[in-house]
Amino acid sequence: MRSALSSRSGPPALALPVLLAAFGLAAALLGGFVVIAPNRLLSGTPLGLWAAAGPAGTAAVLAPLTAMAGLGLARDFALRHMLLGLAAGALMLASTGIAGHAAMVHGADAGPLTRVSLGAGFWCLLAAGFFTLADAVERARTLAQKAVPVLATAAGLFALAAGGALSELSLAREFSVRQHAYLNELFRHLELTGAGLVVAVAVGAAIGFMAYRRPRRAGAAFAALDIVQTIPSIALFALLIGPLTTLTALAPALRGLGIGGIGPFPAIVALALYGLLPVARGVHAGLSGVPRAAVDAARGMGMTGRQIFTSTMVPLALPTFFQTLRITLVQLIGLATLAALIGAGGLGTFIFQGLGQTASDLVLLGALSAIGLALLADLSLRGVALALFRRPAT
C-alpha cells in the first residue's frame, strides 16, 4: 500500500513545473519579450529576450527556469515545494525587472512618445512562474513553507515598483498619468464589492439557514437563486436599469437616497444577487455538515436550541462559512468590473476606456488591477483560514 501511494505522489505529481519550465523556455527563446511602439496607440516591433536584455538578462531568466525543472524532477524532500515556489517567484521577479530595464534602455533614445510594452514572451514567462508558484504553495506542507515564497515574491515586486525600476514601461506610464483617478476608481471598486458582499452575506445566510431548518422549501429557494445565476452578468446589470428608473420616477424622493437606474445602487444590487447563491449554499452545506453526534451531545448537556446553534453548530461549520466568504468575495471582485458600464465606476472604467481608445496598456491597467485584487483577497483569506482552522499535529 505504501509503495503504491509513494508512486502516486512522486515525480508524476510534479510534472506541471517541468512542463511550465519548458513552456517558459520556449517563450523566452521564441516570443517577443517587449514591444517598442512609436506611441501608445500604434503597433510596435517586438524584441526577443536576447535582443532586449542581452546575455546577462537572458541568463537571469534561464537560471530560475532551470531550477524549476530540476526541482520538479528531483526526489521529494522537506523544503522541496518551498524552494520550487521561490524559484518560480525568482522567475517572475527576473522577468519583470529585466522588462523594466529594457524599457529604460530601449525607450530612452527613441523619443518622449515611445512606449515599451510587455510582449507575449514576457506574459508567458510570468504565467509559467505564477502557476508554478501556485502549485508549489498548494502542495507545501506547512504554513511557513506556503507563506515564504508568496511574501518574498510580493515584496520583490513591490520593491521593483517602488524603486522606479518599472517606471518606463507603458503600463506604468498609464498609471502615472491617471494616478489620482486610479486611486478613486480602486476605492470605488472596493466600495461596490464590499457593499454587495455585505448584502449577499446577510440575505444569503438567512436563505441558507431557512433552507436548513425547512428542507421542503430548500428546493424552491435554490431553484430561484439558480435562475439568477443563469442570467449573463452584463444582462443583469442592464435589466436593473428599467425597473429602478421607473421606481425613481414614481417616487422621486428615492433619488436623494442614491437610488437610480444607473450608478452605484444598481451595481450593488446586481453584485448582491450574484452572491446570494454561493452564500446560501455555503451556509446550508456548513450547517448540514455538522455531525449529528455533536448536536446530540450538546443537547444531552442541557443546552437550549439557541445555545446548540451558537456554541456547537456555528463553530463546527465556520470553516465552510469562511471558504464560502472567500469564493464569494473573489467572484464579486471580478464582476464589479462590469459596474463601469452603468456609470458606477470601478476598475472596469479603465478597461472600457482602453477598449474605446484601442490602448491595450490601459485595458491591462484595469484588468491586472482587478486580478491582483482578487488574488490578494484569495491569498489573504486562505492564509487566515489556515491559521484559524489548521489541524493540530498528531
H helical segments located in 109-142: 120-139
Grid cell at residue 126: 510570468
Question: CA torsion, points 127, 327, 335, 222, in degrees to nearest 10?
Answer: 140
95-126 burial by CB neighbour count: b if 16+ within 10 A, else e?
Answer: bbbbbbbbbeebbeeeeeebbbbbbebbebbb
Answer yes or no: are the C-beta atoms of 150 and 85 closer than 8 Å.
Answer: yes
pLDDT digit of tens for each residue in the chain (394 aa)? 344 334 344 444 458 889 999 998 898 888 889 888 877 667 778 888 888 888 998 999 999 999 999 998 888 888 889 999 999 999 999 999 999 998 888 766 556 667 888 888 999 999 999 999 999 988 888 888 888 999 999 999 999 988 888 888 888 888 888 899 999 999 999 999 999 999 999 999 999 999 998 888 888 888 988 888 888 888 888 888 888 888 888 878 777 777 777 888 999 999 999 999 999 999 999 988 888 888 888 888 888 878 888 888 888 888 899 999 999 999 999 999 999 988 889 999 999 999 888 888 899 999 999 999 999 999 888 888 888 876 544 4
270/239 Cα distance (integer angstroms): 9
How much helix, strand and coil, in percent to the nearest 5, is found in the chain?
Answer: 80, 5, 15
Phi, psi dihedrals of residue 156, rounded to the nearest 5°: -65, -45
Which residues is 169 bridged to in the sheet? 116
Task: Using DSSP, state whether 114 is helix, strand or coil.
Answer: coil
Residue 26's closest CA among 69, 56, 55?
A: 69
β strands within the chain, DSSP E: 34-37, 45-47, 115-118
Give the pLDDT of residue 110: 55
Give the separation between CA 377 and CA 208, rounded to whole angstroms. 24
C-alpha count within 13 angstroms, C-beta hemisphere, residue 36: 17
Judge contact between 144 and 114, C-beta under 8 A.
Answer: no
In this predicted structure, what is the pLDDT of residue 108?
A: 60
* Of residues 142, 137, 124, the one with CA closest to residue 21: 124
Question: Can you state the angle between helices 314-335 and 264-288, rounded to 10 degrees?
Answer: 150
Distance CA 45, CA 316 (A): 58
User: Nine-digit cell at 297?
Assistant: 451531545
Query: Looking at residue 84, what is its pLDDT?
Result: 94
pLDDT digit string, tens, across residues 80-113 = 899 999 999 999 999 999 999 988 887 665 566 6
The sheet carrying 34-37 orders its strands as 45-47, 34-37, 115-118
Provide the terminal-to-terminal Cα distance of the chain, rounded to the nearest Å.
Answer: 21
CATH architecture of 179-389: Orthogonal Bundle (1.10)
* Count of Cβ atoms closer than 10 Å to residue 156 Cβ: 17
